[in-house]
Amino acid sequence: MPEKLLEIQNISKHFPGVDALRGVSFDIHRNTVHCIVGENGAGKSTLIKILTGAERRSSGSILLRGREYNPRSTREAMNFGMSVLFQELNVVNQLTVEQNLVLGKEKVRLGFFRRDPQVVARMYEVLRSLDPSIPLGKRVAELSVAQKQVIEIAKAIASESELIIMDEPTAALSEEEVNRLFTIIKELKRQNVTVVYISHRLREIFEIGDAVTVLRDGQMIGTRQVSELGSGGEVGSTAELIKMMLGKVVAERYVAGGGGQGAPVLELRKVSNAKLREVSFSLAKGEILGCYGLIGSGKTEIARAIYGLDQKQGEVLVAGSPAALASPREAIRQGIALVPEERRSEGLFTRLAIRENIPLMNIRSISRWGIFSARREKSLARSYIQKVRIVARDENHPVEKLSGGNQQKVVLSKCINADSRILLMDEPTRGIDVGAKEEIHNLIRELARGGTSVIVFSSELPEVLNLCDRILLLYEGRIRDVVRNGPEVDSERIMHIVTGAKEA
């Protein structure tokens, strides 16, 4: 076996109310592709941030080449020979390929930025070896996602990175681009570069991986050699990985509701766009419908298409009548509201108070004869603070100073106040503690019992099993199956479908 490059020893990371990592230990060997898998919330992103200096560990130690490794910034991590390719690539679209390659590599002499000719030559040489078809003079904005990744990889190799971390690198790639990336990864191994590869797509692990580590709920479940697991071509070869990822997942709190009967309040018929492929389903009054899939599956894109944020083809019906839903304004008029995945940047004005946020989607609720009423605004905020149990000093409490769970309750209050009969909830409990999560779940159940129809878009299997009456299973922009929730639901089969290990 190759020698150890990185030794992760008993790493833990504590955030207020959350243990993101607990005693994680495993080794990464030189010139291998070491894969890391786990459900959303397993701790993968936190571990990456610790390795790259974006977060400081709470306890434990890391050895790089046998020596203590404790980077205080991403730049310091790069100086140690470690680079990362995040899903959001760090290229500057307005610059050319050449300008991106040398960005940050300039030297200052006599007050002027100068390029090191040797560094520049090395960059060009590496880029040509990876993909000679990429022209140096082209603006990066005109390149594909895969070509942008090549630029990032070229910069990492030219900077003499020994270890490159790739975080869900194929989420936005076509099949042809994925194959090209795999060829590049194999070339990296030949150039003595070690790759840490994070992915939800288990088939990819078997194609390029040498070893795979499974994380679950912030803990390291185990590391396996991929060759010992099989070829990945059959369901049996992924079964052990899926069991390690899931543990025992049951619908402990699910109680069948009264929804799901009667005429649909919402229908999608063969809705497609750049990400979605002929998505069709219906939603009944009072139903909690789950939309479950992993990163890149198309969950958020379905929510955005319904809410009028993204263009789409196909047909959408609201209460049996065709609805264009070409903008959020039109969706709100049809009684549809969205609790977005990024609540701080997309769902709230964080510098404003609770009372100023709640009426934003329905200004008429705080006006009389078209005139704003401070008294109504105050009364409205107080009623929602009590109704959804927002923990705050009073209605003047700034939203930015609330906990994540209470911020989510403010977003939910804003949507309820918009008189919505259909509620889209994208990752409704991401980044909030266990107690607040259960409160949000109970609020969703109360809304459904009151006749509101809810779609929960989630990458957490326990969440959809505990909440939803039916569950749409998504993989690569398609609905692969629809599962009716209940005691006999097969969580392992669900995971096989959403990871692409098998078709429905």
- Per the CB < 8 A criterion, the answer to whether 222 and 213 are in contact is yes
In this prediction, residue 486 carries a pLDDT of 82
Q: CA nearest 211: which of 190, 189, 191, 233?
A: 189
User: How many helices (H) does the chain have, and how many strands (E)?
Assistant: 17, 24
Q: Dihedrals φ, ψ of 139, to 5°?
A: -70, 135
Domains of the chain (ranges, CATH numbers)? 26-55+70-81+162-247 (3.40.50.300), 89-161 (no CATH), 254-335+420-504 (3.40.50.300), 350-418 (no CATH)
Residue in 446, 449, 428, 425 with CA at minimum distance from that of residue 437 = 428
DSSP per-residue letters across 340-373: -SSIIIII--TTSBHHHHGGGG-GGGGEETTEE-
Angle at CA of residue 210, ends 6 and 205, nearest 5°: 115
Residue in 313, 361, 335, 343 with CA at minimum distance from that of residue 431: 343
Q: What one-letter code names the amino acid at 441?
A: H
Task: Check residue 236 and give its pLDDT.
Answer: 47
DSSP for 12-36 reads EEEETTEEEEEEEEEEEETT-EEEE
The packing angle between helices 117-130 and 145-158, to 10°, is 130
CA distance 401 to 344: 11
| Tens-level pLDDT at each residue, the chain (504 residues) | 678 999 999 999 987 767 889 999 999 999 999 999 887 668 888 899 899 998 999 999 999 999 999 999 888 888 898 888 876 677 888 888 888 887 766 555 555 556 667 767 777 787 887 788 888 888 988 888 778 888 888 877 777 789 999 888 877 676 777 888 888 888 888 888 999 999 877 888 888 999 999 998 889 999 999 888 866 555 446 777 877 887 755 555 677 766 667 789 999 999 999 899 999 999 999 999 999 988 778 999 999 999 999 999 999 999 999 998 999 999 999 999 999 988 888 889 989 999 999 999 988 888 888 788 889 999 999 999 998 889 888 999 999 888 888 898 999 999 999 989 999 999 888 767 667 788 889 899 999 999 999 999 998 888 899 899 999 999 989 999 999 988 888 888 898 898 877 655
Helix (H, G, I), strand (E, B) or coil at 498: helix
Q: Look up residue 199 and give its two tokens.
A: 């992915």
